[in-house]
């Protein structure tokens, strides 16, 4: 129950910031030009059976979102439903999904410990040159907050274009 309350509080705070404060970092992404990037789209990555260097999933020439999730996480399921709409607007974004809830092993523990995953959804975002621009660490949600603001700003821009009279 507390997880749901925290998630909805996070959504409310995100909506507040997107609609009132904005973010120059997010605004620069929304107002930038973009084209289809090779390797863009959503792809599921299996990584739980071996020690894994997740940075090899970064797509050169695309904004890359490394998205660690669990099927039991309500926020993750909500994000799953929103990502395809976002990617339809932003063909220069590659999302690599890592399921944390399939099979637990020592290697998966090593992988999640190395990333300092403290909650789901857990997000890392890289620019087209492979530089980390936002990341969740432990319980902190900088990567998730950035992705949420970015998605909302892009979808809001599309909605305003479609409803402009």
Each domain of the chain, given as residue ranges in start order, spans: 2-162
Q: pLDDT for 16-44, tens place per residue?
A: 544 544 445 666 556 555 656 677 788 89
pTM: 0.75
For residues 148 and 92, what is the distance between their CA atoms, to the nearest angstrom?
A: 17
CA atoms of 64 and 54, how far apart (whole Å): 12
**Which residues have CB under 8 Å from 107's CB, separation 6+?**
48, 49, 50, 51, 52
Residue 5 and residue 152: Cα distance in Å, rounded? 20
* Domain 2-162 homologous superfamily, CATH: Glutaredoxin (3.40.30.10)
pLDDT in tens, 85-106: 999 999 999 999 988 875 555 6
């Amino acid at each position: 129950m507390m997880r749901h309350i925290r998630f909805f509080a996070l959504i409310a705070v995100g909506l507040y910031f997107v609609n009132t404060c904005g973010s120059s970092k997010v605004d620069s992404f929304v107002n930038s030009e973009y084209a289809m990037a090779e390797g863009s789209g959503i792809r599921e990555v299996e990584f739980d059976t071996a020690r894994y260097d997740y940075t090899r999933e970064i797509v050169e020439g695309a904004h890359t979102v490394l998205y660690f999730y669990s099927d039991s996480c309500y926020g993750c399921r909500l994000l799953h439903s929103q990502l395809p709409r976002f990617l339809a607007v932003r063909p220069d974004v590659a999302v690599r999904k890592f399921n944390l809830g399939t099979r637990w092993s020592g290697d998966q523990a090593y992988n999640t410990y190395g990333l300092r995953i403290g909650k789901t959804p857990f997000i890392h975002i890289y620019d087209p040159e492979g530089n980390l621009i936002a990341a969740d660490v432990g319980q902190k949600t900088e990567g998730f907050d950035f992705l949420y603001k970015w998605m909302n700003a892009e979808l809001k821009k599309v909605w305003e274009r479609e409803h402009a009279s």
